[in-house]
């Protein structure tokens, strides 16, 4: 499968994605725990059906020490006992922030309160920005049918 478009073969794509990737780097450097970042990125990508992002985030998380059990259970986190309360709150926020069309009122007050119970303002900002960032990345990849399977750990760092 070939991608419909190579963003980096265009001036606009190269220029824009340079800034987009810088935003991703800033998020990686935030105080939001790295494991939480990868779990959230993976869950958002699963919901959106972005194979290239699922490929990337499972490999990056595994290389950072995440267990295969937790990676396999992200899709069913509500029924899994392997996530902390903080991670569960982040995953719930990620789901509601991603499924905005399905959640008529957007992110509910209770969901926000659960996240705010576990994360400070800096971390909440990073979490919301990460959820938005991943939704954008997923759409960039889905629209142009970017193929999955070839991600090499660290290739975007």
- The alpha carbon of 111 is separated from its chain's Cα centroid by a whole number of angstroms, namely 18
The fraction of the chain above a pLDDT of 90, given in percent, is 79
Helix (H) or strand (E) holding 129: helix 121-143
pLDDT digits over 96-147, tens only? 999 988 766 789 999 999 999 999 999 999 999 999 999 999 999 999 988 7
Spell out the domains of the chain, with CATH numbers in brackets: 32-143 (1.20.1290.10)
d(CA 83, CA 91): 10
Helices (H), 49-120: 51-63, 68-73, 85-98, 109-118
pLDDT for residue 148 is more than 90: no
pLDDT digits over 60-79, tens only? 899 989 999 999 999 999 99
- The alpha carbon of 14 is separated from its chain's Cα centroid by a whole number of angstroms, namely 22
pLDDT for residue 1 is more than 80: no
- Residue 102: its pLDDT value, please? 77
Query: pTM (2 decimals)?
Result: 0.92
């Amino acid at each position: 499968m070939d991608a419909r478009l190579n963003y980096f073969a265009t001036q606009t794509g190269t220029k824009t994605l340079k800034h987009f990737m810088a935003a991703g780097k800033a998020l990686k450097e935030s105080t939001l725990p790295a494991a939480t970042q990868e779990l959230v990125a993976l869950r958002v990508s699963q919901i959106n059906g972005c194979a290239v992002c699922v490929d990337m985030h499972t490999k990056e998380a595994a290389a950072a020490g995440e267990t295969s059990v937790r990676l396999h259970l992200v899709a069913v986190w509500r029924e899994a006992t392997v996530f902390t309360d903080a991670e569960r709150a982040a995953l719930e926020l990620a789901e509601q922030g991603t499924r905005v069309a399905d959640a008529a009122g957007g992110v509910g007050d209770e969901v926000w309160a659960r996240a705010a119970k576990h994360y400070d303002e800096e971390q909440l900002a990073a979490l919301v920005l990460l959820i938005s960032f991943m939704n954008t990345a997923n759409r960039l990849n889905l629209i142009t049918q970017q193929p999955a399977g070839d991600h090499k750990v660290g290739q975007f760092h």
